[in-house]
Structure 1
Amino acid sequence: MAFLKGGKALALGISTACLYPMAMEDSLQTLIDSGFREFEIFINTYSEMEPEFLTMLEEKLKPQGCRVKSLHPFTSGFESYLLFSNYERRFQDGASFYRRYFEMARRLGAEILVIHGDRSFEKSGLNDREYYDRFGILSRIAREYGVTLAQENVNAFRSQDCGFIRNMREYLKEDASFVLDVKQAVRSGRDPYEMCEAMGKNLVHIHINDNRPGRDCLLPGRGEMDYARLLSILRENHYRGDFIIEVYRKDFAQISELADAYRFLQSAGFESCFG
């Protein structure tokens, strides 16, 4: 099912966040029952990181041949405070806590941990270069676990800005990896295609959705997104990541609509050869 590039299959999948606030394990099972096999798992609380909980997830995933591509931490909203403030000891403690996520990712076979980063320059006290240096430290810790730390573009965070992302890529080089979220770019008043280009060859993961004037998040196929243009940019940058459908529960009425969106993306060329 995929863009075969360098022997790696690029797949379509979905985030358990689409069914929030359904319990995460129930969201996962519902999506498996709907035919999905590739997932981003959104961790919603501390207990969902415990070993016995992970065992339960593995028991759901393995019999169906499912793959966890990525994890999204429940502490995203606190990363300004935990990881990107100018209080050094809290950063060290925060980095130690994030090792728990990296270990969870390694156990589930997830390649990527997604972060939002810093919400406010004024509150954190870090300039952009200091932010990049912090991210680089965390990125190298993640690699100890075989995991890629990836910065998502997020509305009302530093990462909403294309220039910030471009400068981060140029400064950190191989230590910078990115997640493109189309709805977050639109919500920020940014051009999602420009954001994709800013991430360039360091783009490793995509949250795919749709939009139209007045609606910044829709299921793929329900809006006006120019997917052909997006795919063209991805080809130019030799994209090798996957595509994860991520919307909110209010954005669809029936769970069957998620499978419809999957089929739309197939027909739009998301499982064709980049060639």
Structure 2
Amino acid sequence: MYHSRLGCSSISFRHLDLRAALATMAAAGFEEIDLGALPGVCDHVPYTLDREAVSSVAADVAASGLRVRSVNGDVGDLNAPLDAEARRKRAEHLDRLLDLTAAVGAEALVLPCGALDHKPVDSLDADLGRVAAELVGASEVAADRRLGLWTESLHVLRLSWNLERALALAARLDGSPVQHVLDASHAVASGGNFEEAARALGPRIAHVHLRDAVPGDIHRSIGAGAVDFAGGLSALRELDYTGHFTLELETRDVTHDERPAAAAKAAAFITSLI
């Protein structure tokens, strides 16, 4: 029905419980998803992520018949200095998220690019270095399980909030197994554009999130913002991008009842462009 490389994030239906969200995405014609595991943003994965919770979520996903491309998770502010106990807790949380990633058959775990604050804890150089070190360390743990580790390195709400910072972070990650998720809405909301970000990050990109935006606002339905999807997707084709795309429709301009139809409409439009 839709392009084979196009899926939908469960974050698009975060107002529903996991089973209902999975059923809604399947009914809308999707075969692939990203699984949101972001407490406070998307509660499809329990806040206390123990082995029982991992098994429960994996069972629900398996029953849905949907395949999972990635798990979108968070282990805390990667630019925050940690004491020994906090580091132990982070390592344990990372292990459980990787357990979940493996259990649902996903390719990779996605982690963010620092705290929800543009201001560094120390200096920008030190903070970006700390984020890079944490991501590289997580990627090594993931690789031991034959899983990938991706980061959404341009996120308008976080430390690495624009393309300049994303490229500075990317330079610190070059040569490591960490790959990048590019979100079209964050590229535009930060004052840039989708095509520019795609060309700048280039072969580092492992996955692409799609949602519309205007400067300062990432919560627009596709077609209701300023993202040039045709230009960005054309650039990715020129770059021989072979990864997948996910509609992450965390929008505020449609009602919950309208979301399934809006997701289907967006999927048909993006399919025509891929």
Structure that is richer in helix per residue: 1
| Structure 2, unaligned runs of 5 or more | 38-42
Counterpart mapping for 1:240-255 below 5 A: 240-253=242-255, 254=258, 255=260
1:111-133 deviations in Å (ceiling 9; x for gaps) = 12222232245336643223322
- 1:157 is aligned to 158
SS at match of 1:217: strand
1:216-238 deviations in Å (ceiling 9; x for gaps) = 43333444432221123212332
Does the alignment pair 1:86 with 2:88?
Answer: no
Between the two proteins, what is the percent identity of the paired residues?
A: 24
Contact conserved, 1:34 with 1:259, CA < 8 A, in 2?
yes
In the alignment, the residues of structure 2 paired with residue 157 and residue 239 of structure 1 have an alpha-carbon distance, to the nearest angstrom, of: 26
Structure 1 pair 47–171 and aligned structure 2 pair: CA distance change class (3 A): closer
Structure 1 pair 86–50 and aligned structure 2 pair: CA distance change class (3 A): closer
Q: Structure 2: which amino acid aligns with 1:154?
A: H
C-alpha displacement at 1:186, in angstroms? 2.3
In the alignment, the residues of structure 1 paired with residue 133 and residue 35 of structure 2 have an alpha-carbon distance, to the nearest angstrom, of: 27
Q: Structure 1: which amino acid aligns with 2:27?
A: D
Does the alignment pair 1:17 with 2:19?
Answer: no
Counterpart mapping for 1:190-205 below 5 A: 190-205=192-207
- 2:71 is aligned to 71
SS at match of 1:168: helix
Does the alignment pair 1:26 with 2:31?
Answer: no
In the alignment, the residues of structure 1 paired with residue 57 and residue 129 of structure 2 have an alpha-carbon distance, to the nearest angstrom, of: 39
Q: Structure 2: which amino acid aligns with 1:95?
A: A
1:153-186 deviations in Å (ceiling 9; x for gaps) = 2113122121222233233224231111122222
Q: Structure 1: which amino acid aligns with 2:12?
A: C
- 1:136 is aligned to 136
Does the alignment pair 1:259 with 2:257?
Answer: no
Counterpart mapping for 1:178-217 below 5 A: 178-211=180-213, 216-217=218-219
Contact conserved, 1:12 with 1:38, CA < 8 A, in 2?
yes
Contact conserved, 1:209 with 1:247, CA < 8 A, in 2?
yes
| Structure 1, unaligned runs of 5 or more | 4-9, 271-275
Q: Structure 1: which amino acid aligns with 2:267?
A: Y
Contact conserved, 2:189 with 2:213, CA < 8 A, in 1?
no
Structure 1 pair 256–70 and aligned structure 2 pair: CA distance change class (3 A): same
Contact conserved, 1:116 with 1:159, CA < 8 A, in 2?
no
Give TM-score, length-normalised by structure 1. Answer: 0.81
C-alpha displacement at 1:195, in angstroms? 2.3
Bigger RCO of structures 1 and 2 (CA < 8 A, at least 6 apart): 1
Q: Structure 2: which amino acid aligns with 1:116?
A: P
In the alignment, the residues of structure 2 paired with residue 128 and residue 173 of structure 1 have an alpha-carbon distance, to the nearest angstrom, of: 13
C-alpha displacement at 1:54, in angstroms? 4.5
C-alpha displacement at 1:252, in angstroms? 2.5
